[in-house]
Structure 1
Amino acid sequence: MQVVVAGALIADGALLVAQRQRPPELAGLWELPGGKVAVGESEPQALVRELREELGVDVVVGERLGADVGLGDGLVLRAYVVEQAGGTVHPHDHGALRWIQAAELADLQWVPADRAWIPALAERLNRRG
């Protein structure tokens, strides 16, 4: 089983979401940024590396968010809450980045897999906001 990790970066009651540029069937849709766990990496290590590559930020990985999401082909997606520890958010690998509030979660055009986390994200944003 190959694990793909995603980070829910929350600051000041808002969630950072990233707009995909590829593959074509997902281009223009929004997601929690992240990527595949490499051989020999822990899930938190992979998430720190991926968010540094994709967003230019250093993060501290916190608790798991929601349940695993099966992607097919032996892939499973796991989300974690992350806190920014350094750097400046910039879309190195995405078309755009947005900070959204809890009320905007349901209206966003999400990649299908990430929609499973909307309730957990709303609960987290409402708790902090």
Structure 2
Amino acid sequence: MSTAHLAIGSVAVLAAAQGLLSLVLPDVSPIEVHSLKYANGIMTQSRTVSADGEFFPAEWRAEIHDADTNKPVEGCAGSGFWNYQTGHLDAEMTLMRWTGSDTCTPEYLRSIGGRFYPVASWHWGNDGTSKKGGTFAP
């Protein structure tokens, strides 16, 4: 048996083992977002963070999308880094704070007109999670 055959066989065996493990082991995300809702100028993000320590560091991205085009609204998107405290939290914040953009207000969205929906995502290392919220009119 050649070295090339051995290498290819080893890779195939490892890939099969990883595939079987993914069927048996649960895919648990350290950040689970239960809901993402907008009402009366406030975004509410219901989430549970599970980690070994008191905090879990992750990059975040928050966007408001136009429901007709499914594209982010200019001036209503932002990103950053946060140390998320472990446990469950219903985090309430204004659109400006949630997106990290001073231009993203209910008045601004009303001036554009139409319906919108929030999208949030978190990334850590090579993994991440995201959540799309329900459609709303400000």
Whether TM exceeds 0.5 here: the answer is no
TM, length-normalised to structure 1: 0.28
Greater strand share, 1 or 2? 2
Point out the structure with max Rg over C-alpha: 2
